[in-house]
């Protein structure tokens, strides 16, 4: 049995069992052949060089844009909020009456120094975690 006969037999079997998959595979094969046989991109021709007079004219006309907008157009920054308490589960911030929750700590729930949690932790170490 030759290679062509094997391929034709496989194609017939695929058409009978999975016709949509065969069509998809065939379309993919045609697309791959198209991609591999088409000519690659063409290298563009080199642009003509500018004369010295044209270069000088371009340099004279060039006005660089500022990197930073002028002071009048800049947005005013909001004042910083200053933390006026030690880092705990809640913090006291200047100019805010109520304490706020501190999510920037592992102890944001305030359970690190809770007596019941410490008893559970010590029992866990004593009796094991299993």
Q: What are the pLDDT digits (tens) for 45-68?
A: 788 888 999 999 999 999 998 888
Instruction: Tell me the C-alpha distance between 31 and 76, whole Å.
Output: 57
Instruction: Tell me the C-alpha distance between 22 and 110, whole Å.
Output: 63
Q: Determine if the pTM surpasses 0.85.
A: no
Statement: residue 41 has pLDDT above 70: no
Q: CA 66 → CA 54, 62, 88, 125, distances in Å?
A: 25, 13, 45, 64
24 phi and psi angles, rounded to 5 deg: -65, -45
Residue 92 tokens read as 């006291």
Q: What are the pLDDT digits (tens) for 74-113?
A: 777 777 777 776 677 788 888 888 888 877 777 767 777 7
Cα dihedral 18, 20, 26, 31 sign: negative
Statement: residue 130 has pLDDT above 70: no
Strands (DSSP E) found in the chain: 90-91, 100-101
Domain map of the chain by residue range? 3-37, 90-127
Statement: residue 5 has pLDDT above 70: yes
Query: What are the DSSP calls for 75-108, one per residue?
Result: PPPPPPPPB-S-SSSEE-BTT-SS-EE-TTSTTT
């Amino acid at each position: 049995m030759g290679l062509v006969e094997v391929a034709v037999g496989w194609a017939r079997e695929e058409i009978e069992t999975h016709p949509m998959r065969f069509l998809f595979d065939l379309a993919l094969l045609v697309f791959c052949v198209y991609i591999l046989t088409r000519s690659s991109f063409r290298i563009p021709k080199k642009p003509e060089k500018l004369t010295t007079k044209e270069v000088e004219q371009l340099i004279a006309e060039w006005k660089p844009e500022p990197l930073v907008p002028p002071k009048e157009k800049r947005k005013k920054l909001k004042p910083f909020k200053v933390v006026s308490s030690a880092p705990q589960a809640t913090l006291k911030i200047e100019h805010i009456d109520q304490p706020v929750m501190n999510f920037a700590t592992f102890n944001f729930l305030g359970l690190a120094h809770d007596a019941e949690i410490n008893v559970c932790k010590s029992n866990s170490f004593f009796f094991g975690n299993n």
